[in-house]
């Protein structure tokens, strides 16, 4: 087996492997060569030297995409840098291929001085592959156990678990009214003011709905309609990627009011279902989404290699 750096001539077999691996995942969109260009290789921070392709003879066996970028979300410091493995693809029956790819990516990032390396993790946001997954979060689904095996063999520990929840919208969602008088305003997300954030949303139109109480921003929800999932679902799906209510405005029903207004706005744009991912240990968020009709759908996980934990 040989490991070679990315070359555009490998795109057809690379995307075919991804589509074969995720065929049974109804809320993971297909990845076509043109999508790879838009979601990955045309971004200014894409480094083809951090993408490795496993080959045997003329056959592509698997691939891995590592990266070093700033954060894509506005709540992270713009000065921080994240080393990460954004994608790992190989057939379930060949974990040795996956482990070899992970070892190569980790070695390359460690040689560059990185002591913490994320593995399909949410920390720092999602600079690549945004819009392909349910919940809008390109993390590692629990169902893809062979990926977790390859990461685990190479010392990448589980450090994050999210529950993806789903709500069906056969009709316009009923709005939840808050306990306080509030105005709701739709805006462009603050992420769009950052280069990495703006590029991460290529091909998508993210929105935020802001709750204003007594002239103050009391809470905000970020959401987007995901067109990439239409091929599998037959209709667009919306994803909530952020929800927050200020401490002095909590327990006033604002979270539920924001969630239902985001759903209603997405419904008007053609979405007939919605997803959201939230940490397993966040009961307040779960409660807000359950009130709006969401139910648990799947689990996604994020891993990381950490020099302090590994003893190196």
Q: What are phi and psi of 161, to 5 degrees?
A: -135, 130
Compute the distance between CA of residue 101 and CA of residue 53 in angstroms, rounded to an integer: 8
Listed in sequence order, the residues at least 6 apart from 101 whose beta carbon sits closer than 8 Å to its beta carbon are 3, 52, 54, 62, 63, 64, 88, 90, 150
The residue ranges of every structural domain in the chain are 2-160+300-310, 168-299
Q: Which residues pair with 185 in a beta bridge?
A: 210
Residue-wise pLDDT tens digits, 247-259: 999 999 999 999 9
Phi-psi region of 113 (alpha: psi -120 to 50; beta: other; left: phi over 0): left
Burial of 30 (0-12, 13-18, 19+ CB in 10 A): middle
Q: Does residue 150 contact residue 90 with C-beta atoms inside 8 Å?
A: yes
Compute the distance between CA of residue 203 and CA of residue 220 in angstroms, rounded to an integer: 23
Asked if residue 272 has pLDDT above 60, the reply is yes
Q: What percent of the chain has pLDDT over 70?
A: 98
Q: Which of 24, 13, 120, 19 is nearest to 65 (CA)?
A: 120
Q: What is the distance between the terminal CA atoms of the chain, rounded to a whole angstrom?
A: 28
Question: CA 226, 230, 231: angle at the middle one, nearest 5?
Answer: 135
Q: Out of 3.90.1150.10, 3.30.470.20, 3.40.50.300, 3.40.630.30, which CATH number does the structure's domain 168-299 have?
A: 3.40.630.30
pLDDT band at 132 (very low <50, low <70, confident <90, very high): confident
C-alpha distances in Å from residue 2, one per residue of 61, 91, 100, 147, 202: 10, 16, 10, 20, 33
Compute the distance between CA of residue 298 and CA of residue 230 in angstroms, rounded to an integer: 19
C-alpha distances in Å from residue 111, one per residue of 36, 106, 176, 177, 208: 27, 8, 52, 54, 39
Using the Cα atoms of residue 27, residue 32, residue 38 and residue 43 in order, give the sign of their dihedral.
positive
Mean pLDDT of the chain: 93
Residue-wise pLDDT tens digits, 163-215: 999 999 999 999 999 999 999 999 999 999 999 999 999 889 999 999 999 99
Fold match flag (2-160+300-310 vs 168-299): yes
Residue-wise pLDDT tens digits, 10-38: 999 999 999 999 998 888 899 999 999 99
Compute the distance between CA of residue 262 and CA of residue 219 in angstroms, rounded to an integer: 13
C-alpha distances in Å from residue 71, one per residue of 111, 122, 294: 22, 10, 28
Integer-rounded Cα radius of gyration of the chain: 20
Q: Does residue 62 contact residue 48 with C-beta atoms inside 8 Å?
A: no
Q: What are phi and psi of 294, to 5 degrees?
A: -70, 150
pLDDT of residue 180: 95
- Three-state SS for 104? helix
pLDDT of residue 31: 93
Residue-wise pLDDT tens digits, 104-119: 999 999 999 999 999 9
Compute the distance between CA of residue 39 and CA of residue 48 in angstroms, rounded to an integer: 14
Compute the distance between CA of residue 277 and CA of residue 257 in angstroms, rounded to an integer: 18
Residue-wise pLDDT tens digits, 33-92: 999 999 999 999 999 999 999 999 889 999 999 999 999 998 999 999 999 999 999 999
DSSP character for 285? H
Q: Which of 265, 268, 259, 216 is nearest to 241 (CA)?
A: 259
CATH 3.40.630.30 fits 2-160+300-310, yes or no: yes
pLDDT of residue 312: 56
pLDDT band at 131 (very low <50, low <70, confident <90, very high): confident
State the average pLDDT over residues 265-284.
93
């Amino acid at each position: 087996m040989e490991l070679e750096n990315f070359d555009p001539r490998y795109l057809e077999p690379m995307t075919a492997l991804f589509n074969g691996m995720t065929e049974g995942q109804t809320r993971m969109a297909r990845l076509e060569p043109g999508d790879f260009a838009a979601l990955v290789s045309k971004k200014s921070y894409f480094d083809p030297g951090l993408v490795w392709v496993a080959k045997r003879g003329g056959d592509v066996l698997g691939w891995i995409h590592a990266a070093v970028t700033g954060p894509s979300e506005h709540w992270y410091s713009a000065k921080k840098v994240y080393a990460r493995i954004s994608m790992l693809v190989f057939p379930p029956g060949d974990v040795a291929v996956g482990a070899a790819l992970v070892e190569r990516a980790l070695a390359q990032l460690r040689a560059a001085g990185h002591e913490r390396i994320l593995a399909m993790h949410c920390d720092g946001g999602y600079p690549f592959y945004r819009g392909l997954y349910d919940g809008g979060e390109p993390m590692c689904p629990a169902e893809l156990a062979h990926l977790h095996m390859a990461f685990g063999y190479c010392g990448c520990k589980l450090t994050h678990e999210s529950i993806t929840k789903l709500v069906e919208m056969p009709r316009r969602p009923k709005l939840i009214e808050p306990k306080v008088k509030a105005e709701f305003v739709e805006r462009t997300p603050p992420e769009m003011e950052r280069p990495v954030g703006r590029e991460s949303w290529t091909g998508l139109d993210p929105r935020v709905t802001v709750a204003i109480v007594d002239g103050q921003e009391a809470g905000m929800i970020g959401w987007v309609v995901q067109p990439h999932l239409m091929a599998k679902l037959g209709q667009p799906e919306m994803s909530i990627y952020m929800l927050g209510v200020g401490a002095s405005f909590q327990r006033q029903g604002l979270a539920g009011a924001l969630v239902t207004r985001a759903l209603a706005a997405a419904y008007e744009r053609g979405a007939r279902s919605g997803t959201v991912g939230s940490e397993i240990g966040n009961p307040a968020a779960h409660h807000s989404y359950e009130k709006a009709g969401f139910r648990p759908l799947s689990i996604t996980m994020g891993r990381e290699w950490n020099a302090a934990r590994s003893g190196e």
